[in-house]
Amino acid sequence: MAYYFDEPSRTFSEYLLVPGYSSAECRPENVSLRTPLTKFRKGEEEAAITMNIPMVSAIMQAVSDDRLAIALAKEGGVSFIYGSQTIEDEAAMVARVKSHKAGFVKSDSNIRPDQTLADILALKAKSGHSTVAVTDDGTADGKVVGLVTSRDYRVSRMSLDTKVSEFMTPLEKLIYAEEGVTLSEANDILWDHKLNALPILDKKGRLTHFVFRKDYESHKENRLELLDAHKRYVVGAGINTRDYADRVPALLDAGADVLCIDSSEGFSEWQALTLAHIRKEYGDSVKVGAGNVVDREGFLFLAEAGADFIKVGIGGGSICITREQKGIGRGQATAVIEVAAARDEYFKKTGIYIPICSDGGIVHDYHMTLALAMGSDFLMLGRYFARFDESPGAKLNINGNYVKEYWGEGSNRARNWQRYDLGGAGKLSFEEGVDSYVPYAGTLKDNVNHTLAKVRSTMCNCGALSIPELQRDAKMTLVSATSIVEGGAHDVILKDSTAAPVR
């Protein structure tokens, strides 16, 4: 006879937080959302990788490419580049994130001196950049002969056939720095000479990088941006349990800071073998998460196997139909609560704290605060990020409403069979995800800031100024069906914002 749990598994919507005492210090601007991404030992100041916000993006084709990774790192979180692509393509995405901002940027707008103003305008329209390096061969690492900015030409007064060499700022009039200059020194040169861009040249006069004033200003705007020791954005990458021997070194060479095994169910020998291989080859220097699990037993298995963080959740994603197809899974709130208790028990026993990530089940913004209060160290989000400008899905107009495409890794569109691999044939036998649309929501920055404003405000209501304080002091109550109705707008006639006033 099967084992039966005494209690039903519950979702986040079945809980509410009960306010606690809020001191005068409990203001949103005082709340810290810093949280560990990887495990650490008792007594250590913090984890090897610590995020500034408790958000990571899902390992999905429709969510996590290099563009979204850069946008999320600017806000303090981490994206996991999707692994359901070739090793070379995934590594290239990781490399683009790491090279995007080291302070030193490779030029992607270059031209030859014998080209024309028409070519400059076409290049600007294509790249969106107004600063163009003029090199002898028109490549990013060619010998610099000049520079063109929007101040060097006036379209209304010049012929489109005008040669670049006639209106560019020549090398002898350029202010530039030599290779080896530090980022701090380069920024000083920018400010001292009131420049927008500073070319960096090697000893042979070839262009190596640019340093831009806007990047300095961007850093000041994005005070929570997550950078590595070399001032590059932190980025993660997904791996599977099949080709890890080849994929892992390629991703590390590209600069990946952290890896995560992308699997629908993590309580398996396949994950243990993958972790064992990584530990044998790289020791503890490579940070890798594992999952997904939904109970104490699954957590302890992956903890002993060597995972740096553990993902929690099966079947709770908005595009996931695993529960419908296979009848496995668990309510996300119940899964998080049990795994968090196992995590705390493991920490007391071993002195090793392994962060847990709640993956799935988030419908409303307040669910994020509940997940954190229940013990999650951070959240993995798919649908949430798929709605934004920076996600890979196409933006479409459906019946007058803007939407973004969003499809599951278990859908026929993605065909990520490795994620559902049970050691059989290399194919997707049946779908465990759907192909869908989500309402378009705008930029990542605006939405993340709005969401986290709610999280910080709720934490203040609970008297907590940090995630550990929230987990320690939060009080929770189950809600009845009728109290859920009571919690929304009721017994009123809502105004139609499009209705015209009666005159």
Active site amino acids: 320, 419
- Taking only Cα atoms into account, the Rg of the chain, rounded to an integer number of angstroms, comes to 26
Amino acid at site 475: K
Please tell me whether residue 352 adopts helix, strand or coil conformation.
Answer: strand
Distance CA 191, CA 47 (A): 36
* DSSP annotation string for 374-429: TT-SEEEESHHHHTBTTSSSPEEEETTEEEEEEE-TTSTTT--GGGG--SS-SS--
- Cβ pair 62, 436 in contact under 8 A: no
| Rounded alpha-carbon distances, angstroms, from residue 182 to 442, 444, 451 | 36, 31, 37
Lookup: tokens for 502? 């009666």
Coil, helix or strand at residue 88: helix
What distance in Å separates the CA atoms of residue 313 and residue 336, rounded to the nearest whole number? 8
Please name the residues in contact with 18: beta carbons below 8 A apart, sequence gap of 6 or more: 475, 476, 477
Distance from first CA to last CA of the chain, Å, rounded?
72
SS3 state of residue 490: coil
For residue 401, what are its two tokens? Answer: 């409403």
Beta strands in 60-127 (DSSP E): 78-81, 110-111
Q: What are phi and psi of 212, to 5 degrees?
A: -110, 145
CA dihedral 339, 57, 366, 48 (to 10 degrees): 60
In degrees, rounded to 5, the angle at the alpha carbon of residue 9 between the alpha carbons of residues 3 and 15 is 155
In whole angstroms, give the CA distance from residue 41 to residue 385: 32
d(CA 56, CA 38): 13
Beta bridge partners of 227: 233
